[in-house]
Amino acid sequence: MRKLTGKDLVVASHNQGKVREIGELIAPYGLTARSAADLGLAEPEETGVTFEENAYIKAYAAASATSLPSLADDSGLCVTALDSAPGVYTADWAERADGTRDFAYAMQKVEDKLLERGAFEPDQRGAMFVATLCLCWPDGHAEYFRGEVHGELIWPPMGTQGFGYDPVFKPEGESRTFGEMSAEEKHGWKPGGGEPLSHRARAFAKFATACLGEAGR
């Protein structure tokens, strides 16, 4: 396992919600992080068929362009009744004809497909969020960290926190959606110890332990 020794890191994303969340997670570690968008880097085409492949494409593109270690996240919503769709195409489901992304539109699309399949009851509406972090160096070496959180999809959407599909996802054991939780609640450690709540925080906890030695926490 290669350690991250410097303090400079590129967050290989143009998704401002994702950049904000990763920024919140790395803040305690004293890292100086800049996003791919802030550096004017082009968005590479995500041609992978797994979260790991797409995370590597983004991380390596940023690392090779900047000569700095880069951290990329590829994440998505996997809905059991929809055969794990949208999966790696989670962001694509939000795209409208004019090329803009509208997650209210995406959430409605998921709901419509669930209704088409007769998924009305909570036990028919299971889903999980997956996040895969890829830390890549300019020489192409990469380390991967995966986090998952299981739950159910609710309707109508609840809450205005977070981003993406957060307002329709209620994690197991919780009475609120991610959209109703603050960043601290969503990413924080669960009462009584154990894993953090969100998929991205779970992946990040693995990354921090392996590559940062949890310094700064």
Place of tokens 């996040």: 131
Distance CA 135, CA 30 (A): 17
Q: Which of 79, 61, 78, 50 is nearest to 144 (CA)?
A: 50
Distance CA 100, CA 122 (A): 31
C-beta of residue 33 within 8 angstroms of C-beta of residue 26? yes
Structure tokens at 164: 């993406």
Distance CA 59, CA 73 (A): 8
Cα–chain-centroid distance for residue 26?
A: 14
Please identify which of the residues 74, 112, 139, 166 carries the catalytic annotation. 74
Active site residue 83: no
C-beta of residue 22 within 8 angstroms of C-beta of residue 33? yes
Catalytic residue positions, numbered: 74
